[in-house]
Structure 1
Amino acid sequence: MTIPATILDTARTQVLEQEIGLNQQQLMEVLTLPEEQIPDLMELAHQVRLKWCGEEIEVEGIISLKTGGCPEDCHFCSQSGLFESPVRSVWLDIPNLVEAAKQTAKTGATEFCIVAAVKGPDERLMTQLEEAVLAIHSEVEIEVAASIGTLNKEQVDRLAAAGVHRYNHNLETARSYFPEVVTTHTWEERRETLRLVAEAGMEVCSGGILGMGETLEQRAEFAVQLAELDPHEVPMNFLDPRPGTPFADRELMDSRDALRSIGAFRLAMPHTMLRFAGGRELTLGDKGSEQALLGGINAMIVGNYLTTLGRPMEDDLDMMDRLQLPIKVLNKVI
């Protein structure tokens, strides 16, 4: 009697050998794997990552140029000015940004991302970011990425000319679930910014937050929609319910579902950089984080996030050393 092939057998042939990501129906099978098969999923995802991305882990630090006071109503975000949140609007000056980039580079990070809590940049923000990128590149050997909301073509071209090599604009969740998360702008608006970024030659960085109440079907939908972007990087966040936000009372995502999701996203996007981001400490803890780093993840944000605390940088670097995961070295001359 012939034993029917499992989804992991299919993925081994289709993704590991043929370099073709799983489709939405196949991802649903991954997201519903029995708990006892999660280690096998992690091992296969690790093999896919090693074969199609290499063994290096990219380390990134992030900093908020403008924190709080955002006019959007993203239900997970404590930076919205529409919610009763303890986060208040703060601006950083260029010397502080340069110093933060220096401290980030000392950890071995190759990437420094400047973020602003805005719907999109005004002229003041655009000018300050352009000046900041120039100042950082003149003093620090590190790549600069940015995330300052929805952009038009002129703004995209200015950032590319300034030396921003990667732009982050998260789709946040599946298109079908997006209206439950944000009502002040559309999924399509975000998608259009990412199209402009790709056309300008900047690397596309787009991910989102898992565990916001989406169904497993919508989680699979989200992975496929991200894969269609052909992104250089996908940040994987897990909901950290923030006081004062509409999602403050949501439960943390189950760690087993988080691991299934990481494996599924790797099998959907064999070439993409999957970056561990916010909420991993609460959702996965130390043991789960180690499983994920050996299960398809190949990049990390180290240190604190925009409005929440992360692990000490040293702890993450020690973890990577313990797992014998080499950190990517910046190969560029400034």
Structure 2
Amino acid sequence: MDILTVARDQVLDRGEGLTAEQALECLRLPDERLPELLALAHEVRVKWCGPEVEVEGIVSIKTGGCPEDCHFCSQSGTFDSPVRAAWLDIPSLVKAAEETARTGATEFCIVAAVRGPDRRLMDQVRQGVKAINDAVEINIACSLGMLTQAQVDELAEMGVHRYNHNLETARSHFPNVVTTHTWEERWETCLMVREAGMELCCGGIVGMGESVEQRAEFAGQLGELAPDEVPLNFLNPRPGTPFANYPLVEGADALRTIATYRLALPRTILRYAGGRELTLGDLGTRDGMLGGINAIIVGNYLTTLGRPASADLDLLTDLKMPIKALSKTL
């Protein structure tokens, strides 16, 4: 039976996500069927998640100098990258949160380029969370690398709303992307976060040399993990990294991936993240918002430029998509 006919019954009508094998069928659909795929993904998004969009801003509290060798990342201290180590002070962190809230965003994520947080970083995050909560009403998320159980419990006690820890890619492809830690170590942190009661944000990057079969594999693995949010990044090749000369993902492939992941994860917050500006541009960004996306990062990313926040907010207004804090639907 045709995969989109199957998906309409299984995903749209019953809310059951595609398997990895079914996702692969969607990822192999020809370009002429892409509008049909996107339209179905949009129907699924509206039915199972609603019409609203969650808007988030991110800021780096500790930039550069990371000891890990993630081949896509210019913050790795193992590569000859132009990014240098730097720390953000608490007043600057609060200012960034206030600026994010003024855009209408409901989520603000504190990010650090580390393998995992040491005592200094945990103390600074605690001070930052308190200072932000005292200054502005916004949900606070963190992305601080791999955690111990004690650190998970401490972040939950601080009131951190959501924790981001990306698996990055399919388990079978991960050794080609990172060698200084394992996919399984990341998976364990994700499980601890979810079990501690924080919302789990876990996604990855498309375009790091993975096969279409591995993109489908990754969709299935995310389905098994069942995070509250999945950020989809598209590789923006960074100077000095091993992936510096990788080609950009083709726009049609990016949209096919977005729609397929929506069908694999019908109840999950699916967020536009890094690289969409280069891969999709303005028109493709609109197509993705009508093809399954229901969350977006506004402004700049950690070491790369994004679209102006006003451009994304104007797009949401034009599409009549209200902004709202979201959680995964049950």
How does the TM-score come out when normalised to structure 2? 0.98
- The alignment status of 1:202 with 2:198, answered yes or no, reads yes
Residue correspondence of structure 1 range 288-299 to structure 2 within 5 A:
288-299=284-295
Contact 2:57–2:108 (CA<8 Å) still a contact in 1?
A: yes
Q: 1:50 aligns with which of 46, 52, 55?
A: 46
Paired amino acid for 2:161: H
The one-letter amino acid of 1:225's match is: Q
Residue 14 (structure 1) aligned to one of 10, 15, 38: 10
Partner SS for 1:113: strand
What is aligned with 1:318? 314
SS of structure 2 residue aligned to 1:314: helix
Alpha-carbon distance between aligned partners in 2 of 1:219 and 1:329, rounded to the nearest angstrom: 28
Q: In structure 1, list runs of 5 or more residues that go unmatched.
A: none
**Where do residues 116-195 of structure 1 align in structure 2 (5 Å cutoff)?**
116-195=112-191
SS in 2 for 1:176: coil
Distance 1:223 1:330 in 2: 21
Superposition RMSD in Å: 1.0
Of residues 96, 103, 106, the one that matches 1:100 is 96
Partner in structure 2 of residue 260 of structure 1: 256
Give the Cα separation in 1 of the matches to 2:18 and 2:96: 39
| Secondary structure, aligned partner of 2:185 | helix
Tell me the amino acid that sits aligned with residue 150 of structure 1: M
SS in 2 for 1:59: strand
Query: What is the TM-score normalised by the length of structure 1?
Result: 0.97
Please point out which of 286, 298, 302 is paired with 2:298.
302
Deviation at 1:329, TM superposition (A): 5.3
Name the stretch that deviates more: 7-16 or 319-328.
319-328
Match of 1:26 in 2: 22
Residue 80 of structure 1 deviates from its aligned partner by 0.2
Tell me the CA shift for residue 38 of structure 1: 0.5
Q: State the distance in 1 between where 2:30 and 2:313 align.
A: 32
1:73-88 → structure 2 map (5 Å cutoff): 73-88=69-84
Q: Deviations over 1:222-244 (max 9, x none)?
A: 01101111110000000000000
CA contact (8 A) 2:54 2:326 kept: no
Out of 233, 238, 241, which is 1:237 matched to? 233
The verdict on how the C-alpha distance between 1:321 and 1:115 changes in structure 2, with shifts beyond 3 A counting, is same
CA distance in 1, matches of 2:196, 2:91: 28
Please report how far the alpha carbon of residue 325 of structure 1 lies from its aligned counterpart in structure 2 after TM superposition.
1.2
Residue number among 280, 285, 297 corresponding to 2:281 in the alignment: 285
Q: Report the alpha carbon displacement of residue 330 of structure 1 after superposing the two structures with TM.
A: 8.5
SS at match of 2:266: coil
Given candidates 216, 222, 226, the residue that maps to 2:218 is: 222
Counterpart CA distance in 1 for 2:325 and 2:115 is 33
What fraction of aligned residue pairs are identical, expressed as a percent?
66
* SS of equivalent to 1:241: coil
Supply the distance in 2 between the matched residues of 1:229 and 1:205 (Cα, whole angstroms). 11
